[in-house]
Chains A and B, each alone.
Chain A
Amino acid sequence: MNAVEAQDVVKTFGDVKALDGVSVTFEQGIVYGFLGPNGAGKTTLIRVLTTLLKPDSGSARVVGIDAINDPVAVRHKIGLAGQFAAVDDFLTGRENVEMVGRLYNLSKRDAEQRAAEVLERIHLIDAADRPVRTFSGGMRRRLDLAASIVGRPEVLFLDEPTTGVDPGSRLDLWDLIEELVGGGTTLLLTTQYLEEADRLADRIGVIDHGRLIDEGTSDELKDRLGGNVVEVHVADVDRGTAAGVLTGVGGGELRTEGNALLIPAHAGPRTLTAAVRALDDAGIEPQDIGLRRPTLDDVFLALTGHSAEEEASEPVPAGRRGRREL
């Protein structure tokens, strides 16, 4: 059975087409990552799949159940951690998780037992009886994760699980998410961080302006870009000359990325040799030169014409605390 099947989902807010006909299907047991910049439509898609939002048109099924016409049945099967850690400051960590367990219709005893289990798994058991207002940002996110899995969801939805946390906590959260899905839980996550998608997701859907523009494993996406590139760094004074002599090398189009010159390496190491020779002939000594795989950033740039991590240019509608993504 497929974990998620969405067909031609459209959702418009006023003049803004948040979802412009998205179709996506993936099977159970994998981690699927939606990658896209702010305002691309990732959160709107999650809200449709988690029954929080009815689309204007299209269909959405989660573990085979119609999310639009049968939302209560879907809610029994899913767990959601939104962009904000939706935990209560004045309750303890344990009380927060037990409360959500009770709302999943667990009996009081089951909720207590399950909360203890989940807090153990999420490495918060030592802090479980402290009020959440004493928690750090990373701990709050972890607690939010605990609440999202207390009902043993068949599909877990994490909307930008590490946005706004410090880099150290991000690494911890990645480890934790990997542990959680190690047991075969199906996870759908959204992220604007390429590294996050690369590390966590088995399959990545690139989303921009409300459309799914490409999909595949991280490797597939990179291969589709034409494989490896030769990356050349030269002194600033030499860059113009270097760009001139390298144009045409390898038979592809030269592009620049920051201070680096990038040549598509269709011929692999031979393109690298040719580039070294061309620079040598021109009397330019490279500061650094090497063959590398394209990054997801290269993929994103090639697909959309802009970088994934840059802020959306349209204004973000107000009405919610913090960043609210369409």
Chain B
Amino acid sequence: MTATAAPQRRVSFASATTHTAVITWRNVMRVVRLPQLLLFSTIQPVMFLLLFNYVFGGAIAIGGDTGAVGADNYINWLIPGILVQSTVFGATATALGLTEDLAAGVIDRFRSLPMARSAVLTGRTLADLVRNTFVTTLMLVVGFMMGWRFEQGFLKMVLGVSLALLFGFAFSWLMATIGLLAKTPEAAQSAGFLPIFPLVFASSVFVPTASMPDWLQVFAENQPISIIANTVRSLMIPEPALGPLGLEQGTLIWQSLAWIVVIIAVFAPLAVRQYRRSVG
């Protein structure tokens, strides 16, 4: 055996970045090489878009006259909500992917390598961000064909979509924590939707919160998914069609960013801790 360098105790930042890129690539390839995965994850948000627009759209009063829903048509009001809903639903892939890797022994292989621990989780959440971006873009193209218009210009639309995607990325860390607690893909699948359903439906995503009972309104108007959805709305629908959102656009944007930062700051360390535990 030739002389070897002194034992390396820590993984350098440069190596950790490379490892994260390698793991992200690996997770993205899974979606690229198994097109049925991408197909079905695209069909779901498009289906929600079609169902809500054509089933509920007619029943919901539109326009400044009644004041129920801002915007000139339901789809302009719906798209920002569906955007947030689809990125949050998409984040469940993080829980599923991690538990599948655990079950297949892939995580054991990674842990036996001299690679950064954080790369496994970061590579997973980043890959899910890439996937969410692709799925969302396709959904917006379908929305455009159905009559959706971003009336505040391209840049503000991109800013709004980016906010929704960032929120989905933050949610991926919550889903990573849940997946690692659930341990099996089957349990992760069900557990992941537990926080999602109340947050998505008791919100301003699909319908205005004004018709909800008072106690629910308090929750619905202040929880992060409504805040993000309203922020995206304020970036896509011009006054006066938009109507009151309760908060100024500037406040909404800051609150959205704060939610994203807080969710990552809480759940990234929790996910890392659970990762160390569940595989130890």
Contacts and interface: CB of A to CB of B under 8 A. Distances in A.
Nearest to A91: B29
A135 interface: no
Contacts of A75: 112-115
Contacts of B108: 47, 52, 80, 82, 86
A102 B22 contact: yes
A222 interface: no
Interface string B240-280: 00000000000000000000000000000000000000011
Contact of B8 (A76, A82, A86): A76
Identify which of B18, B33, B103 gathers the most chain A CB atoms within 10 Å of its CB. B33
Identify which of B7, B26, B105 gathers the most chain A CB atoms within 10 Å of its CB. B105
A90 B25 CA distance: 12
Interface string B1-44: 10000011111000100110010001001100110000000000
Contacts of A151: 113-114
Chain B's interface size range is 20 to 34
A82 B109 contact: yes
Contacts of A85: 105
A125 B199 CA distance: 51
Contacts of B118: none
30 contacts: A28-B1, A50-B112, A51-B111, A52-B111, A53-B280, A72-B9, A72-B10, A72-B11, A76-B8, A78-B112, A82-B105, A84-B105, A85-B105, A86-B105, A86-B106, A86-B108, A88-B26, A88-B29, A90-B34, A91-B29, A91-B33, A102-B19, A103-B114, A103-B115, A104-B113, A105-B15, A105-B115, A154-B1, A319-B184, A321-B104
Interface in A61-112: 65, 70, 72-73, 75-76, 78-80, 82-86, 88, 90-91, 95, 99-100, 102-105
Contacts of A154: 1
Contacts of A131: 33
B126 to A, nearest CB: 16
B183 A90 contact: no
A72 B184 CA distance: 27
Interface in B107-126: 108-115
Interface string A227-238: 000000000000
Complex A-B, nearest 3 residue pairs according to Cβ-Cβ distance, in ascending order = A73-B7, A84-B105, A90-B33
Contacts of A53: 280
A79 B108 CA distance: 12
A76 B114 contact: yes
A147 interface: yes
Contacts of A47: 108
Contacts of B7: 65, 70, 73, 76
B22 A99 contact: yes
A87 B112 CA distance: 14
Given A80-B109, A82-B109, A103 B22 contact: yes
Interface in B91-141: 102-106, 108-115
A307 to B, nearest CB: 27
Given A28-B1, A75-B115, A79-B112, 11 more contacts: A52-B111, A52-B112, A52-B279, A72-B9, A72-B10, A85-B105, A86-B105, A86-B109, A90-B34, A102-B22, A105-B114
Given A72-B9, A84-B104, A105-B114, A147 B18 contact: no
